[in-house]
Structures are given as structure tokens and as C-alpha cells.
Structure 1
Amino acid sequence: MTRVVAIINQKGGVGKTTTTVNLCHALAESGKKVTVIDFDPQGHLAVSFGIITQDISGIDSVMLKEKTIEDVTVSVRKNLQLVPAGSKLKDVEHMSNHGSSRGILLRDSLRGQFDDQDFIFIDCPPSSGLLVANALIATDELLIPMAGDFLALQGLSHLMATVKRFEGALKKRYKVSVVISRFTSTRRISGQILNVLLSHFPNQILATVIRETSLLAECPSFGQTILEYSPQSRSARDFRDLANDFLENRVMTNDNK
């Protein structure tokens, strides 16, 4: 059965797109079939995969009911396909037609699609509007990238309040996993934040920490993932390990952090 996972954090700058691109490629490299939907109007996923985005249709056209999701899906790597954002996705956020069905457009567009895939990842925007609502309705599983700083921790509390509201309205419980990204062990605050997260998310933080390196910042400008740009680097190793954590549900504890 295909797992639909929303990669979400309402705060920007936490490594969400970096996590999405490289985790998806690592899973695909391991043999899993992966589809990733760029649900962020900034449209950075396509650029990170080396796709020219000018005049390209994407999930925007699907949400506006101009095309089907199959029409706009492109293969970007072996076992990995992308549904790009499209230039009109920012307009969808403020869409006033379709009435109460606006919140289920993504869920309905996925129905009966990608049944041959192991995973569908939805890269959400750093906001709490219509796009995020569509993602939360379309999935039962959340992956939350978290940077090791105080402001990221504040943003997480706002996100979890949103998640709780949706759980109450939809009468379901999300499977929540947290990935520690942009981590610098030399910052004392990073270790403190990690301890706070462990107390609030027991058995939910994936075991591998994504360490912050210049390589991760460089590779998108070349249209490559870290697995291509520097395949033997510790960053590439981090994401391969993270993919295994995700598949095997390996989590961090106070003993193995």
C-alpha cells in the first residue's frame, strides 16, 4: 500500500526542501518507488532536481482542475518522479471557488493514482493556509524537519497546534516523525533543543541527525542531490542512513543520541 507522507513545518529555514530532495532520492536509490509533490509555491524542488521550470505545468493545474496529476508528473531519477509546483500555485492558496471542496482537491486528485508507488511525499509550504490544509487532509503521516535552534522550537509548537486541530476535525491521529536537520554539534543550544525534542517526541525522532555542511547548500545550484554531487560525503551518508531509519522506523533515544 502506498504511504502518503506530508513533509511539513510552518517555519522556513529548517531544511525542509533539502530533506525532501535528498531523502526521496536516497529512498529511490534503495529501490523504492517514490513520487514527490512540490506543494510549495516557491517551486524549489524542480530546480534542485535540475528541471527547468519556466512555463511548466504542475500541481497548480491539477488544483485548478485544468489537468490531471498524471498529466504533469515527470521522471527525474530512476524510481523517482516529481509533480512540480507550477507558476500558479500561489494563486491556489487564495482560491475562492469550489466551496467547501477546496480542502479535498489534493486528496481527490491522488485517488486511484500512483498505486504502483511505495511513497508519495508532499513538500508543504511554510504556512498554514489552504495548501497545508489540503496536504493534512490527504495524508495520515507527517515528517517534520527541525533545525536545532530556539525559533525552530517555537515554530514547532505552532505546527503541532495546527495538527491537533486537524486531528480533532478529521477524527484521526497522524503518525508523526521528526528529523533533526541543519544540526551543528558545536552549538550548545543544538544539544539543548535536542533534549527538549526527545522529551516531547519520545520514539518519534529518527535516529540519524542531518549535520549542516556547505555541500548541502551547494548541490541545488548544480541541479543535483547530495547523493550525486558528493556521493561519498558524510552528508550523503547521513541521508542514506536517514532513509534506512525511515524505512525501519529506527528512532533516537537518550541512550543512542
Structure 2
Amino acid sequence: MRVVAVISPKGGVGKTTTTANLAASLARLGPRVTILDLDPQNSLRLHFGMAHEDASGIAQQEAMDSTWTSVLFESAYGVNFLPYGSVDENQRGDFEQTIKDNPKWLAQHLASLQLADNSVVLIDTPPGPSIYLQQVLSVANYALVVLKPDAASYSTIPSIESLIDYYCGQRKDFLGYCYLLNQMDASKQLSRDVFGMLRNSLGKRFIPVTIHRDEAVSEALACQTPVAYYSQHCSATHDMQELTAWLQTNFRLVD
């Protein structure tokens, strides 16, 4: 099983949308892909048609001391997903305390799912440091860092690299991380400048494929559908296909 942490040093970079669309693209290569939402915003589920009013998710299951299998939903796109769930602040606090008290919490739950050896698991996390990120980086084989082409994202790179090094630097089963530039707008000078700075400073850790800004992505989310199924020929779909091919060549996510 290959576990990919999808992380970002700041919010608003399109990390959750990237996770959902990458999962759907990877699933087309054959394996059943599972995505886990560890972001309290609980929005990953909306990309796969889960009803807005459905509050179920792993946070509630933890309160009932139950397994995750009862909230493992199967989508129509070859992707299983585990939503975070809708909880109030007291429930969220209790949930996070449970996670904090057990450093092996995530590893144990993933093992309980009994996924196939060739499974791919993508885990969405809140931006920046958090108890969720600690757990995810303790089990991830790879990390995909999502950035926007702006100065704020560029300036936060040292902090995210420090976190990855702290939690993954001594783990032999951690195989590497890379950076993905999302919402690229080549018509803007700033975007082009940030792209050039990232490419020069990050070297091989910078994915040469960028995900361009595309209104089809927002429209697909409004229809609760991955962008590749909403618009087969839009730029975002082609970008996601190229990203999937790059990850397959460099990370061998799919056998």
C-alpha cells in the first residue's frame, strides 16, 4: 500500500480539489484508490457526490469507538473516500485529543481497513502544522506539497520542509516529496516569476507539470464530479493526466 500525504503550508491553494481530481485520475490506471479527509472543513466528500446534509465521517466513528469501514463510501469514479464528518467544536476537540494521545492512531486505522497491497491512499490535511499533519507524515510514503504561484507560498517553503524533515527524515519507508504548482496563470508576470524561482530553487523536487487555472474545476465541484468526468478536454483535465503520468514515472504509485 502506498500512502501519499497531500499537504500545503498555507490555505487557499486548492489542495483538496487537487487531492480529489488526482485520486480520480489515478483510479483510471487500475487500482482502487482510497482518499481520507483529515481536514475539519470536511469538503473532500463534495467532489464525489456525498449529500451536503450527510454528517457521517471518521470523527463521529471515533466518538462511538467504531471502525472506519462503516463510513467508507464508494464513489462512481473508482475512488473510495472517508469523509472527516460534521462535528461541533466540542466534538472536534475530543477527536483531536484522541489523536494526540495515540501516536499510532492513523497507522492502526489504516491497517484495520485491510486494503489490498497495490492500493493507493491519498490523505488530505489542513494547511500548516497540525496534529493531523503529524499523524499523516508518520505513515506517508510520499508527500505532495501543493503551492500557488504567489509570493506567500514561496516564502512558506522552509517551514514545510522543516516539518517533513522532522517527521520523515529518519523513516526508511518515506521515499520522498515534491512540489506541485496549482492555479497557474501564465498570463500573469508574477505567476511566471514564481514558477521560475521554484524551478530553479527546488530542482528535481519541483514537478514540471503545473495545474493551470481553469473555470471547469469550479464548475465540476458545483456538480460534485471530478473535473475529468465533467470536461474531458479542458486544460485542467489534461494537466491532471500529465501529473498522474509524472507521479507514476517518478513515484511508481501504480504497479
TM-score (norm 1): 0.87
Given the superposition, is the C-alpha separation of residues 45 and 72 from structure 1 closer, same or farther in structure 2, using an over 3 Å criterion?
A: same
Q: Which moved more, 1:72-81 or 1:5-14?
A: 72-81
Question: What is the identity percentage for the equivalent residue pairs of Structure 1 and Structure 2?
Answer: 24
User: Is 1:167 aligned to residue 163 of structure 2?
Assistant: no
Structure 2, unaligned stretches of length 5 or more? Answer: none
C-alpha deviations, 1:39-78, integer Å up to 9, x for none? 1111111112111142432221344462212221010124
Given the superposition, is the C-alpha separation of residues 50 and 140 from structure 1 closer, same or farther in structure 2, using an over 3 Å criterion?
A: same
Corresponding residue number in structure 2 for 1:195: 196
For the Cα contact (< 8 Å) 2:73–2:80, is it kept in 1? yes
Given the superposition, is the C-alpha separation of residues 244 and 168 from structure 1 closer, same or farther in structure 2, using an over 3 Å criterion?
A: closer
Structure 1, unaligned stretches of length 5 or more? Answer: 251-257
For the Cα contact (< 8 Å) 2:5–2:143, is it kept in 1? yes
What's the secondary structure of 2:145's corresponding residue? Answer: strand
For the Cα contact (< 8 Å) 2:185–2:212, is it kept in 1? yes
Corresponding residue number in structure 1 for 2:248: 247
What's the secondary structure of 1:19's corresponding residue? Answer: helix
What is the rounded CA distance, in whole Å, between the counterparts of 1:148 and 1:170 in structure 2? 30
What is the rounded CA distance, in whole Å, between the counterparts of 2:201 and 2:14 in structure 1? 21
AA matched with 2:14: G
Corresponding residue number in structure 2 for 1:254: none
- Structure 2 matches for 1:157-236, cutoff 5 A? 157-167=158-168, 175-236=176-237
What is the rounded CA distance, in whole Å, between the counterparts of 2:213 and 2:97 in structure 1? 42
Corresponding residue number in structure 1 for 2:29: 30
Given the superposition, is the C-alpha separation of residues 193 and 97 from structure 1 closer, same or farther in structure 2, using an over 3 Å criterion?
A: closer
Given the superposition, is the C-alpha separation of residues 93 and 34 from structure 1 closer, same or farther in structure 2, using an over 3 Å criterion?
A: farther
- Structure 2 matches for 1:68-79, cutoff 5 A? 68-79=67-78
Corresponding residue number in structure 2 for 1:50: 49
For the Cα contact (< 8 Å) 1:61–1:86, is it kept in 2? yes
What's the secondary structure of 1:122's corresponding residue? Answer: strand
AA matched with 2:215: S
For the Cα contact (< 8 Å) 2:36–2:83, is it kept in 1? yes
Q: Which moved more, 1:53-62 or 1:104-113?
A: 53-62
Post-superposition offset of 1:171: 8.0
How many residue pairs get aligned? The number is 249
What is the rounded CA distance, in whole Å, between the counterparts of 2:173 and 2:241 in structure 1? 31
Given the superposition, is the C-alpha separation of residues 33 and 96 from structure 1 closer, same or farther in structure 2, using an over 3 Å criterion?
A: closer
What's the secondary structure of 2:50's corresponding residue? Answer: coil
What is the rounded CA distance, in whole Å, between the counterparts of 2:118 and 2:171 in structure 1? 25
What's the secondary structure of 1:242's corresponding residue? Answer: helix
Given the superposition, is the C-alpha separation of residues 215 and 130 from structure 1 closer, same or farther in structure 2, using an over 3 Å criterion?
A: same
What's the secondary structure of 1:240's corresponding residue? Answer: helix
Task: Output the aligned Cα RMSD.
Answer: 2.4
Corresponding residue number in structure 2 for 1:81: 80
TM-score (norm 2): 0.87
What is the rounded CA distance, in whole Å, between the counterparts of 2:73 and 2:65 in structure 1? 17
What is the rounded CA distance, in whole Å, between the counterparts of 2:169 and 2:88 in structure 1? 28
For the Cα contact (< 8 Å) 1:5–1:122, is it kept in 2? yes
AA matched with 1:3: R
AA matched with 2:103: G
For the Cα contact (< 8 Å) 1:92–1:131, is it kept in 2? no
Corresponding residue number in structure 1 for 2:130: 129
What's the secondary structure of 2:146's corresponding residue? Answer: strand
For the Cα contact (< 8 Å) 1:41–1:89, is it kept in 2? no
Given the superposition, is the C-alpha separation of residues 89 and 177 from structure 1 closer, same or farther in structure 2, using an over 3 Å criterion?
A: farther
AA matched with 2:126: P
- Structure 2 matches for 1:99-178, cutoff 5 A? 101-112=101-112, 113-167=114-168, 175-178=176-179
For the Cα contact (< 8 Å) 2:103–2:135, is it kept in 1? yes
Post-superposition offset of 1:138: 2.1
Post-superposition offset of 1:125: 0.9
